[in-house]
Amino acid sequence: MTNELYYDIVIAGCGVAGLYTALSLPRDKKILMLSKEDVASCDSMLAQGGICVLRDDDDFEAYFEDTMRAGHYENRAESVEIMIHSSRDIIDHLLALGVRFERNADGSLAYTREGAHSKPRICFHKDITGEEITTTLLSHVQKLENVTIMEYTTMTDIIETNDVCVGIRATDPCGNRMDIYAPDTVMATGGIGGLYQHSTNFPLLTGDACRIAKEHGVGLEHMDYVQIHPTCLYSTKPGRSFLISESARGEGAVLLNHKGERFVDELLPRDVVTEAILREMEREGTQYEYISFENVSEGTVMAHFPNIYRRCLEEGYDLLREPVPIVPAQHYFMGGVHVDSDSRTTMAHLYAVGETSCNGVHGKNRLASNSLLESLVFAKRAAEKIAVTQSTIS
């Protein structure tokens, strides 16, 4: 037996993209959000480094070029411009919502730097920026009377009528089927890391939206553009790989081989650094190389990277006193469901946001700390387009 539900908007996914979509929609809209597991099990929670922002007008050309160069100039320039120009409003809104970005002594925002950035322009909260942003957004969404969140509920299909999306099919925690009808549907199911043996992602991220889109002839883009993160903590234990944030290298951490020699410029784009590590591993015949925090002060480590420090200790490494073994692992998906600048897919009334979507911002290789920003910018644009569309229809 299939239960039928009716909402104004249904959103599959409760990461930053799904949450910000819900938060940006009109309060008179009845919204249902689905979470495949509990709401804490989303990759947005795992983002360590931070979120980029345009520091001032003089930074635009450099930020644009940094993003394009990291993406091998396969980025969609219009999307990159939209993201950069929208960044300050997004950061200001996050601050207003209560996100605790680090600040300097004078109260101004503190910025860190990561690979392929020509200057520091990344806002952060310790080394758990994603958790800080996601939990803040979630706390606000949970207070909205017009939003219902169903945990342990999985999108299995979309409902299509005459080439128009009219809702989602899902299963609840007991395996019961639900047909959820809504004038507009948003897919925000994250990436594909669960399909890999070694990934920084939660195992539940299995590309559900991409599979469903393909089955319905909805456009996909750059499905082979998968980013490998250079520095994940090497471990023989099974399970998700633990990321050592790129901002560690931005603050001065260096990569060393087994002879204690540096072998790459640590601030090059991620794909370049990854290739260098893999080449060095092959040359040395080893399963890992090292990251050293010898040039990073203890104060910076304890203030900026407390979670990384703690996790390394759990694995038996004191990064204040010794190099830590690292190895590349699957990290991010630049491809996905093709969308326009308003996050619309090629099927009417079906939207995709966050890592699920491909709006062209990242090109072939994502610039560090653009993911949270891109997700928020284009989630808001999806919400605004849905609001206008539903207002026009009504």
Q: Is 279 a catalytic residue?
A: no
Residue holding tokens 């087994």? 258
Nearest residue to 118 (alpha-carbon basis) of 27, 55, 189: 55
Indicate which residue of 76, 113, 240, 270 is catalytic: 270
φ, ψ of residue 326 to 5 degrees: the values are -135, 155
The CA-based dihedral angle spanning residues 355, 333, 210, 131, taken in that order and rounded to the nearest 10 degrees? -30
Distance between CA atoms of residues 368 and 215, nearest Å: 32
User: What CA–CA distances, in Å, run from 93 to 47, 79, 128, 137?
Assistant: 19, 20, 19, 11
φ, ψ of residue 120 to 5 degrees: the values are -65, 125
Query: Cα–Cα–Cα angle for 198, 377, 109, nearest 5°?
Result: 90
Both structure tokens of 198: 């070694």
The CA-based dihedral angle spanning residues 129, 287, 325, 122, taken in that order and rounded to the nearest 10 degrees? -30
Distance between CA atoms of residues 378 and 354, nearest Å: 8
User: What do you get for the CA distance between the two ends of the chain, in Å?
Assistant: 32
Both structure tokens of 58: 């003089």
Secondary structure of residue 108 in the 3-state scheme: coil
Q: If you compute the radius of gyration of the chain from its CA atoms, what whole number of angstroms results?
A: 21
User: What CA–CA distances, in Å, run from 281 to 102, 268, 274, 288, 394?
Assistant: 36, 18, 11, 6, 61
Give the distance from CA 293 to its chain's centroid. 26
| Residues noted as catalytic | 270
